[in-house]
Each structure stands twice: as C-alpha cells, then as structure tokens.
Amino acid sequence: MGTVDDTEPDAGASGGPRGRAGDGGPPGWTFLTNHAHVLVALARDPETRLRDVALLVGITERSVQSIVADLEAAGYLRRVRVGRRNRYHVNPAGRLRHPAESDHAVGELLALFTHDHVDS
C-alpha cells in the first residue's frame, strides 16, 4: 500500500498552494457546490436574507441571486413574499441532478446538514 506524503502543499489551478481545512486559508475545493451550500443555508433558515447567505457561503450576493434563480427554475426552491421579505420553501422531493445520485432526493442531502425536518 502507498502512503500519503503530507509535507508538500497541494498545487492549485494557478500552480500555487491551496489552503487546507483548518489552516486559515481558503479551501482549494469542497465536496459541495455553491448551489448545495445556498440550498442548505435556505433550508436551515428560510427567512434569511440573500446577503447573509452570500457571507455564509463566501460568494457574492449576485451569485446567490443567480443560484436561487437556478434552484427556483429547476423546482428545488419556491420563493414567497412575506411583507418586505422573502421566505424560501425547499422541495425535499426534488431529485439530485447527477446521474450517479439521481435515485436520491434533495431532502436526503439536506437531512445531513439540517437538524429540523425540511418543509415543502
């Protein structure tokens, strides 16, 4: 069996070092996409502002708005106006999009990252 040499930093796309979890630097990659991060954030707090989601995820508010539009268009998310704010409803029955996971529902993924049951 081979061993992992952990002494050299990983090279990023630009050839420079990538941060590692816990070292204070930005990660070179993550297991979840920004779409998943946004969906999890809205499932955890359906009344959160998109600017707060952007800060949490580490992307621009404009990117969050685009992702929310994608999620709405695909039927994973529904936005309801409540006074001057929006409330987001996640469709837990929506199927994961990649063929390797398409036999699983979004609700299964969200259950890993949320403590409460996800409403539809």
**Residues 26-44: pLDDT tens digits?**
668 888 999 999 999 999 9
Give residue 8's pLDDT band: very low, low, confident or very high (50, 70, 90): very low
How far is residue 73's CA from residue 65's CA, in Å, rounded to a whole number? 12
**Residue 77, in any domain of the structure:** yes
Give residue 25's pLDDT band: very low, low, confident or very high (50, 70, 90): low
CATH at residue 48: 1.10.10.10
**Residue 120, in any domain of the structure:** no
Q: What integer pLDDT is reported at residue 98 of this predicted model?
A: 94
Residues whose CB falls within 8 Å of the CB of residue 86, separated by 6 or more in sequence, listed in order: 47, 79, 80
**Residue 64, in any domain of the structure:** yes
**Residues 29-84: pLDDT tens digits?**
888 999 999 999 999 999 999 999 999 999 999 999 999 999 999 999 999 999 99
**Residue 2, in any domain of the structure:** no
Residue numbers of the domain that contains 81: 34-113
**Residue 47, in any domain of the structure:** yes
Whether the predicted pLDDT of 102 surpasses 60: yes
**Residue 92, in any domain of the structure:** yes
**Neighbouring C-alpha atoms within 13 Å toward the C-beta of 99:** 0
Pull the structure tokens for residue 47.
């009344």
- State the distance between the two ends of the chain, measured CA to CA, in whole angstroms: 47
How far is residue 90's CA from residue 59's CA, in Å, rounded to a whole number? 21
Q: What percent of the chain has pLDDT over 70?
A: 73
Pull the structure tokens for residue 103.
């036999």
Q: Give the count of domains, the chain.
A: 1
**Residue 87, in any domain of the structure:** yes
How far is residue 117's CA from residue 44's CA, in Å, rounded to a whole number? 10
**Residue 12, in any domain of the structure:** no
